[in-house]
Chain A
Amino acid sequence: MGGVVTVFRRELASYFATPVATVFIVIFLVLSGALTFTLGNFFARGQADLGPFFTFVPWLFLFLVPALTMRLWAEERRLGTIELLLTLPIAQWEAVVGKFLAAWMFCTIALALTFPLVITVNVLGTPDNGVILSGYLGCVMVAGAFLAVGAAISAMTKNQVIAFVLAVAACFFLTAAGSPVVSEFLSQRVPQMAEVARAVSITDRLAGFSRGVISARDIVFFASFIGFFLFANTVAVDQRKAD
């Protein structure tokens, strides 16, 4: 476990040692705020909750999270530091988990910095803060799922652009699978696929969280989803590390 902590610390520090952290956080905060107040009709709805904010978060993460994950392994390959990292006396899974947790922590920090929205609704009305907290938990879960997929893809390719595009596609699939457009189309033509699409849909599960419903099924879904892709990530690193 010591290896996980060591890699985690180095990775998290490296986000803040480069402009990555500033750019990511500023863009995330500007876009999430702007979308909530404009497209989300924050004021016109007349409700003291963060519903619109939570619906936009997956769509923002869809682009921003792959930007984080694309460099996770591809950059190590480019610099040759993968050879250094994987010849230190730490197991490969420790490097994989350490990198994932650092990226996850980074996304959590970005989400936590949207706290002025929470203050705003509390000033304007009397929201149920438990529901807001559960919505944030859902967002953290979505970030974890996207990061796990993106990191696994990054381990499979040397090329950062390929890693980014494939990760965006995968995250888009997870996000759009539950949207009415997709589910109506599928249930009319291939009803079997409609079931599958609903099952992997991240938006449906996030909707539950943002209503304040934390169900064991959703937690198990996210945990096993992240676990599976971290496992795939470890296998990919092992197979392709020296290419």
Chain B
Amino acid sequence: MTALIEIERLTKRFGAFTAVDDVTFSVAKGEVVGFLGPNGAGKSTTMRMLAGFVTPTAGTARICGDDVVDKPVAARRHLGFLPEGAPTYPEMSVTGFLEFCARARGFRGSELADRVAHAMQLTQLEGVRLQPVETLSKGFKRRVGLAAALSHDPPVLVLDEPTDGLDPNQKHEVRNLIRAMAPEKAIVISTHILEEVGAVCTRAVVIARGRVVADTTPAELAARGPSMDAVFRALTLPREAA
């Protein structure tokens, strides 16, 4: 299997603080990696470096072979990225926003319309297509962000907390969607909901204080202790506190 995402010794320092410390892993087609860790562990920073939004202090990452530092635009072309909090332009309509994202990715004319319609269908947004994004509920906004990340059918998906703020039904839908797309793509989702990892991921990468502390299957992770929560605590809390 060829790796679509290759992260190599990725490091990011903000002043004296090291947010991401020498992280290395790769994700192959067909894998869904659950990126786990407590708040502030470096999940979002790692994903932002992958998307080319944060410049790494050291190390690099490649998406489908294109280096995110040297060839940022080419690397981003292969990528569907949902930023943390799923930011959207509040005054735009759902259709307008999705069209903007698809146009920025080079789609024009009838293909553009098809892409947008397909993304709206996948995320069940047809009912609100002409509403301004600011009038939508949190769950809908999240799905608009998801639709924008999916519209170009990218080989690599990086989703920062895709189910945050969704109700249980919507979470179920999004997980089904991720599972359905999984065979064709390399997917990384960050979450701190542990049940989600077992539900959708084929692999779990746990990060704490910027370092990878576990890289295994969800089943193996769960088997390490009495419960997933206990394993998570043991891995992510500093030794003396655990």
Contact residues of A with B, CB < 8 Å? 2-3, 6-7, 9-10, 13-14, 17-18, 79-81, 83-84, 86-91, 238, 241-242
Contacts and interface: CB of A to CB of B under 8 A. Distances in A.
Nearest to B52: A87
A115 B88 CA distance: 37
21 contacts: A6-B104, A7-B104, A9-B100, A9-B103, A10-B89, A10-B92, A18-B91, A80-B87, A81-B87, A83-B48, A83-B51, A84-B83, A84-B145, A86-B53, A87-B53, A89-B73, A89-B104, A90-B104, A91-B72, A241-B53, A242-B54
Nearest to B88: A81
Contact of B106 (A2, A13, A14): A2
Contacts of A83: 48, 51, 53, 83-84, 87
Nearest to A239: B55
Interface string B68-101: 0000111011010101110111111000100011
Contacts of B90: 79
A18 B92 CA distance: 10
A88 B76 contact: yes
A89 B132 CA distance: 24
Interface residues of B, number: 32
Contacts of A6: 100, 103-104
B183 to A, nearest CB: 24
A6 B52 CA distance: 20
A89 B106 contact: yes
Contacts of A9: 100, 103
A86 B73 CA distance: 10
Given A13-B92, A89-B74, 18 more contacts: A6-B103, A10-B89, A13-B96, A14-B89, A79-B89, A81-B89, A83-B83, A84-B87, A87-B52, A87-B53, A87-B76, A87-B81, A88-B101, A89-B73, A89-B76, A89-B77, A90-B73, A242-B53
B87 A79 contact: yes
A80 B85 contact: yes
B233 interface: no
B13 interface: no
A17 B104 contact: no
Nearest to A95: B104
Contacts of A87: 51-53, 76, 79, 81, 83
A91 B89 CA distance: 19
Contacts of B105: 88-89
A9 B97 CA distance: 12
Contacts of A242: 48, 53-54
B73 A91 contact: yes
Interface in B127-175: 132, 145, 148
A87 B72 CA distance: 9
Contacts of A241: 53
A242 B51 CA distance: 12
Contacts of B51: 83, 87
Interface in B18-37: none
A81 B145 CA distance: 11
Nearest to A81: B87
Residue from B91, B92, B132 having most chain A Cβ neighbours under 10 A: B91
A177 to B, nearest CB: 37
